[in-house]
Chains A and B, each alone.
Chain A
Amino acid sequence: MTVRRVMGAETEYGVLATGNPGANATVLSTQVVTTYAALVRRRLGAAHAAAGWDYHGESPLQDARGYTVPREQADPSQLTDVAPVLTAEEIAAEALTETGLYAESMDRRQVVMNTVLPNGARLYVDHSHPEYSSPEVTTPRDAVLWDAAGDRVALDAVRAIAASAEGTGLDVVNLYKNNTDNKSVSYGAHENYLVPRGVAFDRLASGLLPFFASRQVVCGAGRVGLGDRGQRPGFQISQRADFFEREVGLETTIHRPIVNTRDEPHADSHRHRRLHVIIGDANLSHTASLLKFGTTSLVLGLIEAGAAPDVVLADPVAALQAISHDPGLTATVALRDGRRLTGVQLQRLYLDAARAHELAGGGPDAATREVLELWEEVLDALESDPLSLADRLDWVAKYALLLGYRRRDGLGWDDPRMTLVDLQYHDLRPEKGLHHKLVAAGRMRTLFDAEQIERAAGTPPADTRAWFRGRVVTRFPDDVLAANWDSVSLTLPGVRRGARVAMPEPLGLARDDVGPLLDGAADAEELVRGLAAARPDLVHTGSLG
């Protein structure tokens, strides 16, 4: 067993025009995506419009429990497999081009709502938030790095918008990596893990419920206010806990379930399942993020091996909220067998099972050992001296700051300054964001420095198909018509109706596989011809239009 598996992260950013609080969120999000797409095109020296997203292969209504939800029964927000029809907001977004903001850097004035980045990620307008979906990676460390790269992408967009605001008259936009506005609305930070198709979904769900209800003690981001509108004063461990209503389900925007059943593998569906995790908080702490991806991958390994701890919560949704509402970490939740355990004790059951399984299996690899040791260290500290983790975990760092304000200024939990500290912890700008301030002051540990993160914002991981996607977009930006998780479509002068390259295997078309071919090709056509000779099963020419 190992922490290594194909995984990825998605972040929906909170979006705010400080000078214009009533501004339309879809327009602001479009401004963010369009601005960053223009930055990329300028950096790459590209002439044409940004590569679009290809909706071919999306199946958001396929349920992992073995059926498909009829479209007419789905909430409109679930229909993510079609390009958005122009709404009033999007027509308003067209007005962005009228200002001439993008004319300078693009030959066609175009509003971009969905694009593929040189690091293999997707950046798009998801309803009313800008969303960054990281490239596929194979280790928790890489998941942390390419998730943090998304924050750098978002920061670059914020800065570019601010720099041009005076000339364009457009709103200055701030982005926040958090999950709620404390006014009944929540937005997600999702994780994705590749799981063998052979593992029965009900085993995944039952193995994950107690783990997901309790892992917030490690990777919660902290929140001021209890209840979906923050109507009761107090502090809680998780941003997301109060927005979950069900144990298992397909929805992501309404009646949110702890275990999501969307069965959309973006890969060979006979071999793979993509577990779509919607319960997590957005993390800025690298340690919390590493443990979020690392421990979840280990628990999936336990479930796959039939070695998950035998633990069933009496009421998982109530347990999720009870654990979140108790930053003192003493609250216990009921198990179906009558026992009562704290969140930390639940986590320790999983840690012990993972340790035992590793020992039986002959010892972990380095990446796995790092996660196991850190997990144990953090659980020990949560039991002995939680505040000692203020330099490593988001919720503890935020809690320690807030306790400082209570001590110095006697602020109540319902004081607007407490809510502001909570919100501003997540501001992505180094000069304003409190997480950034803690890192700069040497009070918060990191795993990667700013330079490494900046590099990951422009470079794909080498060991998955994201490498092919990202490098093709980088090398031949004007030839990529569209791309998605499992294909890249190219328009080629010498090939009528272009070519589509299929990428059914997440580990296929990595650097070791096609590096020399891709880097050696003089143009996109040479690449496609070379690839068609080597892998005829993956290249379909004349398939576009």
Chain B
Amino acid sequence: MTRKRERLPTSATPDLDRWFAAQGRTPFPFQRTAWAAYADGASGLIHAPTGTGKTLAALLGPMQEALHEAMEEARENPPSKTVSPVHGSAESEPPRLLWLTPLRALARDTVGAISAAAAALNLPWSVELRTGDVSSSVKARQRKRLPTVLVTTPESLCLLLSHADTAARFASLRAVVVDEWHELLGSKRGVQVELGLARLRHLAAGLRTWGLSATIGNLEQALAVLVPGGGRLIAAGTTKKITVSVALPPPERVLPLAGHLGLAQLPQVLTAVDGARTTLLFTNMRSQAEMWFSAIHGARPDWPMALHHGALERALRDAAEDGARTGTLKLVVCTSSLDLGVDFAPVDLVIQIGSPKGIARLAQRAGRSGHQPNGVARLVGVPTHALELLEFVAARRALAAGRIEARTPLRAPLDVLTQHVVTLALGGGFVADELLAEVRSTFAYRDLTEQEWCWCLDFVVSGGPTLTRYPRFQRVQVVDGRHVVTVPEIARLHRLAIGTIVSDQAVSVRLVRGGNLGTVEESFITRLLPQQVFRFAGRALELVRFHDGVAEVRVSKRPANSTPQWMGGTYPLSSFLADEVLALFGELHAGREPDPDLRAIAAMVRAQRERSHLPRPGVLLAERITLGGRSTGDGGHLLCLYPFAGRLAHEGLGALLSWRLTRYQPLSVSVMVNDYGLTLAAPTPLLLDASALRALLSPTGLVDDLLASMNAGELARRRFREVARIAGLLIPDLPGKGRGARQVQASANLFFDVFRAHDPGHLLLAQAEREVLERELEVTRLRTALERLDGWTIDLVDSPRLTPLSFPLWTEFIQSQFSSEPWDARVRRMQAEVLA
């Protein structure tokens, strides 16, 4: 059901035009299109680069509607008093607009922007923030009286939906805006938003949904996920100009064939930063950010600079963000923690150290610069090895041609559904059949089977499918045909556990004289002894003591000799970018020069062509390399393949190949992978010709063989913690939450073992297994790769020496071996031989 809405005549919006005119601007055509679509009663998705006016495109539709309604109202009942903006008082309008943002840091600025617009347009709207940072007294007030515009996160929305009286107050909502939708799409948080939107559509008839997104490859699908009923896709006509250049080493130096820090390029980086006002320098890993920070700080101690990554204390991150916003900092060294966020007007240069990983990611990072009027986003890529130069060149070319990756939405994660079902049982209860229809109205659960739905209800009502195994279970009860939660203790524990972000166990790092610096992984700290010096938060810190989950440190004058590593770091190269790199190789193979920057790796290309062949589309390059033990001390036989399918898919492929290979030839092989290919290393020759290799690469029986080869049951343990946490089996250990939460602490491992022994058919175990296959081994990508390889010819080359492409794989292999010669010395010597 939709409310009757008239298309507004343009004369009804003098206020909007006046407001724009007062700022010396005119609305962009895409903004007018979005307002008109909103007035039509439509939903949709607006995509544009950051800083091009998406916020106003989504915001002013609802505001224009309110102005129009106020005018109609005034015509019918002439006002007795003047209307003035009221914030949070009893006279402000009931909730009209909900603004969802994935990032708390964005929320505060969004509140400011909406308040300013409401004040300028004389709307009596209250605009408020609700995130985990807001005080509990404000939250309690908001539950009783929602503001006209509520700016919040997906988690806070779920918490509101868990209160029956608050949920009912959403009935007056006209619209929901989901900011940064591309960031949510493809994650469990995105699925949580889909379910939340379905509920809001149920509560508020005629609700319109608008999404804001950066450019991604599957915008039509992004729209279909956000608005399953269909909506408009609106593109900003203007595209912000992005320039990508590559920092090349001086002619007398060659780019190494492998490596990951890239500190050899420090002089070029210093020069680039020198010529800019404020620079954001992105790395791919936190440890790399720590090392680059200390290297630059060592070279330019007078530069005001800051470090920003996810393990640092919020106050330190806030200070870095403030410095970037106000321009007091020359440089911020950061990781993906600054991929999103408020625009930093002074930033006029972005530097990317190491692989760009993907085209969308590079565009996103580049877009953090150039927010000055008519500004250009400027990015300098710093390859740490030769193949990364190809990645930057390939990404630049794809970006110029408008080719960009897709974000694949998730299908039916049962842990998220379980959590949502309990949330709704808590927020006033539901009738099972009605909720099933609502859940199936979402994209993620459109094909949810009857069996999955019943399992989900059984899980929350009786603990599991068999009553006898779960006696005395209570979470959700069925009272008069409605599923409800009646036990206050269960309600409290559930609200504590709402959300889909599962953080790792971490140790706080605190200065002895007071002040938290952030967190590191426990495994790192337990390996350190007191008085050892490590690098963290951009300083050299001496460990004083470690107890009760807190590492006490003091700033040291001695140099640091270790840097913490954080898990979950390696983000694979996108298959899209891998294909672009392969296409570049294809052109080099054909003797063309696709880009003058590639002259910097001419020696590498020539050596690859002479020792072996260049890879190219339509051909699987396979290299059989025999390493003589005499010259190197590393005798052995390598089989290197280059499917260009990304690190994770190669890991799966490596496990599959070595498992299948042992059925041909009994031997022990080690597997090493990178984003381009993989190598199987064995002490004896691998008796494989092209046809045997073809058989090993068959896509038939992929999943069965993969499961058999990897002990997937054990691998599932890795994903189970997240699944169990979201499904509500693990209560997060939050400080100050009282005894109740502590009494039900149990580890995910314990649940995993107990389920495997006592309820092996548990669907959450199956989900964890599915997630291992999908997310950790990228089985879909692997299958696509194998199917593609099926149609390719195999180019099997024998080489007596390492080739430039096999060299980085070999270094990975050597890193895991023992040798008396220092690793880096050996790698330097081998590299000289490869390029000789």
Answer yes or no: are A and B bound together in one complex: no
